Amino acid sequence: MSSPTDLDTADALGVLRRVFGYDAFRGFQQEVVEHVVAGGDALVLMPTGGGKSLCYQIPALVRDGVAVVVSPLIALMQDQVDALTAVGVRAGFLNSTQDLDARRRVERAFVAGELDLLYLAPEALGTRGVQQLLDRGRIGLFAIDEAHCVSQWGHDFRPDYLALSMLHERWPAVPRIALTATATSATRVEIATRLQLTGARHFVASFDRPNIQYRIVPKREPRRQLLALLRDEHPGDAGIVYCLSRASVDKTAEFLVANGIAALPYHAGLDAATRAANQQRFLREDGLVMVATIAFGMGIDKPDVRFVAHLDLPKSVEGYYQETGRAGRDGLPSTAWLAYGLQDVVQQRKMIETSDGDLAHRRNLATHLDAMLALCETVRCRRVQLLEYFGESGAATCGNCDTCLDPPETWDGTVPAQKLLSTVYRLDRERNQRFGAGHCVDILLGKQTDKITQYGHDSLRTFGIGTDLREAEWRGVVRQLLAEGLLAVEGDYGTLALTDASAEVLGRRRTVTMRREPERPASSRSAKPRGAATMVADLTPQATAVFERLRTWRAATAKEQGVPAYVIFHDATLRQIATDAPGSLVELSRVNGVGENKLARYGEQILAVLADPT
């Protein structure tokens, strides 16, 4: 095979076919590629799995010089380079994990023009040595990956990204492309301003991920609910479980392992070697579940993550979208599942109240949380509401989220809201006392607890007036009042307090419509295997057998080479091979994902697998 630098530099489609094995670009990929190849700056928003990397990899192979890719993902750079090397692209990286000899080899290759792409961490670009190194080579373009990291109040903020405006100042003639999967219109403006990309052309794809089924369920026993999800719908599947705290990560991973689920923990409290080992296992082994804090996941290129589960409420819709987007990168059916309860709301409100930063910062956090709560409490199609948050209006209901599959009931909760708010009012104004949600609910239910007896709260006028609702329903009332800003959480102990808007309800000037709390978890019509079974659901028995043989061959090959299985071939490529049953190298070359380098390296082995039914 010719090296990429020998390819027809005007033929981006030819590069796409010969190197990456695809016949056509998707969406506006070709527009981005042509714009950057011509020397233009670009800001690209494309959902995870939408093909962002090709938007700079193709120009890197077409333009003269080396493409410098700025990425915060030091732990994943080796895998990114391995994936490019597998298709014949000359790639390297420089970061703190290398020894001096490895670093010097990459530096020499860069200066000699023997690389097509060079990956650097943003902090490296701030050093004099790296800047002088780049001055010695020929740079074809700068690609700033995970560009949302420049957003100072965003969910993945990296301070070193703020210095990346120096790229334009030091190398003004080099085109730049900034890419991210998650940004509202306001964040896009922030990215463009901070990176001095105000003159860049914006390319914004749809945020819709139709293969992902969004589901939010009432939190009862979240770990047992999670276990049921994995056993009933995702047996043997790879997935990610997000928890808010390190302790919760450890306990959840232990719980899953004790119940026969292969699970690993990942959080900042683990030593670097353990984190690295667990991440490598997750990337390289099939069917592992990673239980993690949000420290894990950005840049994970594993295409067959079949589910992302949250056991705690995300702080923002951006964070939720970014995290759930790690499921189903291969386009196959996947699940985004969240267990959500009253304590989540109380905890998040309390964290905002006690957070660092000025009043404007706390208001910004509260605005993000309000949008997340609105998504949780909506009775509309969740996908429609999610898309509207990112500025996409007019979408039709999806038919593939929980509110479409099992439409929730609504009810007039004005009177219960008045009872609850009146209880908070009487405790505060009459007794100069504040208590948490559980105590207020106990008062409404007329429970004679030790605390109620101690404080004499059984003499309150609201004591026992709420027996028409179950405890779970009252907790739902509290949660939804908090979500709508009709109730607040204050202090270190998460006590309830009235807001300015509370008076509208107490004064009968505002009605409150609520979601009805189910008596028990409903068996959703969506509760059927969606993972490994869906990969072969539409294949014939013969093609299914071939697909499994190909997966076995791929696993052995990946293990031998010490790379993740998807570096060899994605499942989608193996599915097409199993379906088309190519009988020659020419026929195999027509399969999506089989470029020249992989055809030369693996073609004969694949044909041998197809020819041998054993």
Tens-digit pLDDT profile for residues 363-420: 888 888 889 998 998 888 999 999 999 889 888 999 999 999 999 888 999 999 999 9
212-405, what's its fold? Rossmann fold (3.40.50)
For the chain, where do the domains classified as CATH 1.10.150.80 start and end? 538-611
Q: CA 49, 52, 53 angle in degrees (round to 5)?
A: 105
The per-residue pLDDT for 531 is 55
Given a cut of 50, the residues of the chain with pLDDT beneath it are 1-10, 522-526
The per-residue pLDDT for 445 is 97
Distance between CA atoms of residues 36 and 48, nearest Å: 21
Torsion of CA 43, 46, 51, 53, to 10 degrees: 40
The per-residue pLDDT for 6 is 40
Q: What residues contact 268, with CB distance under 8 A and at least 6 apart?
A: 246, 293, 295
Do you know the residue count of the chain? 614
Q: CA 188, 190, 193 angle in degrees (round to 5)?
A: 110
Joined tokens for residue 571: 């499942």
The per-residue pLDDT for 535 is 59
Residue 178 is classified by DSSP as E
Pick the CATH number of 538-611 from 3.20.20.70, 1.10.150.80, 3.30.1330.10, 3.30.300.30: 1.10.150.80
Instruction: Tell me the pTM.
Output: 0.84
Distances (CA, A) of 65 to 68, 127, 140: 9, 22, 4
The per-residue pLDDT for 147 is 92
Q: What residues contact 454, with CB distance under 8 A and at least 6 apart?
A: none
Residue 164 is classified by DSSP as G
Distance between CA atoms of residues 127 and 572, nearest Å: 41
Q: What residues contact 452, with CB distance under 8 A and at least 6 apart?
A: 439, 442, 443, 458, 463
Distance between CA atoms of residues 435 and 464, nearest Å: 17
CB 371 within 8 A of CB 319: no
CB atoms within 10 A of CB 186: 10
Residue 17 is classified by DSSP as I
For the chain, where do the domains classified as CATH 3.40.50.300 start and end? 4-204, 212-405
Helices (H) and strands (E) counted in the chain, each on its own, are 28, 17
Q: What residues contact 125, with CB distance under 8 A and at least 6 apart?
A: 70, 131, 160, 163, 164, 166, 167
In terms of DSSP H, where are the helices of 16-92?
29-37, 54-62, 77-86
Distance between CA atoms of residues 61 and 596, nearest Å: 15
Q: Which CATH class for the 410-515 domain?
A: mainly alpha
Rg (CA), the chain: 27
Distances (CA, A) of 97 to 83, 103, 127, 253, 522: 18, 9, 16, 28, 49
Distance between CA atoms of residues 10 and 172, nearest Å: 24
The dihedral of CA 192, 195, 201, 206: what is its sign? negative
Distance between CA atoms of residues 541 and 392, nearest Å: 41
The per-residue pLDDT for 25 is 92
Helix, strand, coil share of the chain (percent; to 5): 50, 15, 40
4-204, what's its fold? Rossmann fold (3.40.50)
